[in-house]
Structure 1
Amino acid sequence: MKAKPGKASVNLLTVAREAGVSRATASLVLRQSPLVATATRDRVQDAMKRLGYIYNRGAANLRHNRTGTVGLVLPNMDNPFFGALTAGVEEANDLLGTVCFIANSGESADRQARQIQRLREHNVDGIILCPAIGSGPDLVGELSRLRLPFVQVLRRIPVGDAGGMTGDYVAVDYGRGVAQAMERLVESGRRRIAYVGNMTAHSAGRARLEAYLAFARRFGIGERYVVSGKPDNRYDEAAMDRLLDSPDAPDAAICFNDVIALDLSHHLRRLGRRVGEAFAVIGMDDLPQAAAAFPPLATIATRPREVGLAAARRLHARIERPDLPFEEDVIPPRLILRASFGASAAEPQGG
């Protein structure tokens, strides 16, 4: 083994010589290029460790007019769903060598605007954004004008009447998930299916409701079983109680998310109704609390970690190739049937 030089003299050429490769190959390893064989990559990385080589990422970023940072702006960090999404973003960023600034808009468009301004002041290379309720098309227009790469995730800000793509977008196929749940409920003999927690202030909420109403019309269920909800994950309990006391009381419910579904399940039990027998409940998201609930909650898994991974990769691609056509990634949901669906529920279902 060659003698180790002092730290002051350790540069990429020193590493290359220690590993027995060219400086160009060592540079490819630093940039995580797939062109380098695994054995060669390991040899270069071992040499870096032995020599104490520290990559001057700041200088490299300056050469490429980059900071190696991105912003992630989410509307409700209290919701465990967004924690899982953030984990997916960070997993991808770790592999891509990117650092992430995370901001919580609290469903405030004004606060969101301030956060985006601060992220710009930090010269982030791009932004992943789940738009707050009330976000207008001027936000998308401003980001586009500034040529700041961005990806909208889960929700999309409507721009113009044509409804064309105005940027990269990563979403969940909420409509497909609701349709799967409705089909299974009807197959099981349920005919009075409520939709609990309806919120149409953003595109993800509208997609859920539209899918429910389309299926309800198809099976003659009508619209009387729609119960409103709020961004703080509460639903109109009084309206639900009126439905439960009516002659044609619902015998099942699909909920906006798992938080509302768990709350509804607790409420039904307080009223003496046996969840999974007299009344079927299905949530959405498959939070960890869903499987641990009593009875375990049937749910539409929306795969937040995969959403985060896809969004981070999409943003990275946009940063690398800003002039590429806009892309849309749609994550398929998965229906998971547990005891709150019925005693014969088998896990998993759907795809």
Structure 2
Amino acid sequence: MKKAVTLNSVAVEAGVSRATASLVLRDSPLVSLETRDRVICAMDKLGYIYNRGAANLRGQKTGTIGLVLCDIGSPFYSQLMLGIDEVIVDANIVAILVNSAENPDRQLRQIRRLREHGVDGLILCPAAGSSDALLSEIERLHLPCVQVLRHVSQRNGNYVGPDYADGTSLAVTHLVRHGRRKIAFLGGRPVHSAARERLDGFRKTLKKHKLEHDLIIPTHLENLSDLGSFPELLASSTPPDAVVCYNDMLAQSVMGYLLARGKMPGRDFAVIGADDLPQSAVSFPTLTTIVTDPVGVGRNAARLLLDRIDNPTTSSTRILVSGQLMIRQSCGGQLP
């Protein structure tokens, strides 16, 4: 069996002390670039593998975080992860990704397993149906945690997410300004904070304009062919003239439905989505969408978690990323 390469061997090969080689492994600023390069070259030549686990035990940190998401198949969460990765890679942190699949019991089991693996903290998008008890359990496990995109409490816990209510209000206001008077919301099941805040922004803005505000059509978001009662409503004697959809993927389904029936989105019927997924800029017609900036949310969530890991605090920080409206062809309004 080949003998394991030790740090002493690396130091001898590089012509430095073992202490200096150890400083290089710990990214110490006390080592010159030339010395650092020599040590790294020696490690590569000898095939040295740094035992980070043992080092972490000494330092009481593992250099890992848990990333608990509710739907890893969604392209929206891919954008969120890009933002998180941009921050943690510079901090030499590795994320362990798990998928709760919108199941609170599975979510709790996963969080406990992540704690067993010694993660330093959590970024959590709570599964639908999560309660305040989840935050109490995470606190009991002594895990710094940042909720992202959804929150289980209005007051407790760190949170980073879009201003859903404001974004939805911008969409409704734009439609009203361009003559739409009967506006529906598609995908409105208030099963978590993000959905409730979108619906709140929708209702309040329509009330402000003294327009009908109860055209809310529930759908199963995991089934993009489910348009709920939208087809029947569209075929009624008093159909809506616009729809704000829960997300871009659902809005794309609506536009496909309209096109298949000879109706041009934007000209015959206004459609607005949410999340500004990349494909929304190249669809036909191009999709007007509420910008929720998942990459920016991910960056802010990662920065906040790293701060909480280094500086534990009992006070909660809540960061809302301002909503914007990306106006394109599907809403029929004037392009910017």
TM-score, scaled to structure 2? 0.87
In structure 2, distance between residues paired with 1:7 and 1:236? 60
Corresponding residue to 1:77 among 65, 72, 75? 72
Of residues 111-120 and 196-205 in structure 1, the stretch that sits farther from structure 2 once superposed is 111-120
- Partner of 1:169, secondary structure, is strand
Structure 1 residue runs of 5 or longer lacking an equivalent are 1-5, 347-351
Aligned residues: 326
| Partner residue of 2:312 out of 322, 325, 346 | 322
Quick one: structure 1 residues 343 and 141, their matched pair in 2 at CA, closer, same or farther if it must change by over 3 Å? Answer: closer
Fraction of identical pairs, as percent: 41
Is 1:203 paired with 2:193?
yes
Equivalent-residue separation in structure 2 for 1:170 and 1:89 (angstroms): 12
Instruction: Give matches, 1:217-296, under 5 Å.
Output: 217-234=207-224, 237-296=227-286
Shift in CA distance, 121/16, structure 1 to aligned 2, threshold 3 Å: same
The answer on whether the counterparts of 1:199 and 1:205 sit within 8 Å (CA) in structure 2 is yes
1:76 Cα offset (Å): 0.7
- 1:188 and 2:178 aligned: yes
Aligned match of 1:50: 41
Moved more, 334-343 or 71-80: 334-343
- 2:112 aligns with one of 117, 129, 138: 117
Q: Structure 1 residues 45 and 254 mapped into 2: Cα distance closer, same or farther (>3 Å)?
A: farther
Q: Deviations over 1:320-351 (max 9, x none)?
A: 111263211211232111111227423xxxxx
Q: RMSD value over aligned CA atoms?
A: 2.8
Please tell me whether the aligned partners of residues 193 and 253 of structure 1 are also in contact (alpha carbons under 8 angstroms): yes
In structure 2, the CA distance between the partners of 1:65 and 1:339, relative to structure 1 (3 Å rule), is same
Residue pair 2:68, 2:123 contacting (<8 A) in 1 also: yes
**TM-score, normalised with respect to structure 1:** 0.84
- State the match for 2:3 in structure 1: none
Counterpart of 2:239, as a letter, is A
2:142 and 2:122 map into 1 onto residues whose CA distance is: 11
- Whether contact under 8 Å (2:10, 2:39) holds in the other structure is no
CA, structure 1 residues 231+275, in 2 after alignment: closer, same or farther (shift >3 Å)? closer
Output the CA distance in 1 between the equivalents of 2:192 and 2:266.
Answer: 31
- Per-residue CA deviations over 1:3-56 (Å, capped at 9, x if unaligned) read xxx9634359x7888xxxx969x95x86668xx69xx87545434433338655
> Is contact 2:219–2:227 with CA below 8 Å preserved after alignment?
no
8 Å Cα contact 1:15-1:51 kept in structure 2 = no
Structure 2 unmatched runs, 5+ = 1-5
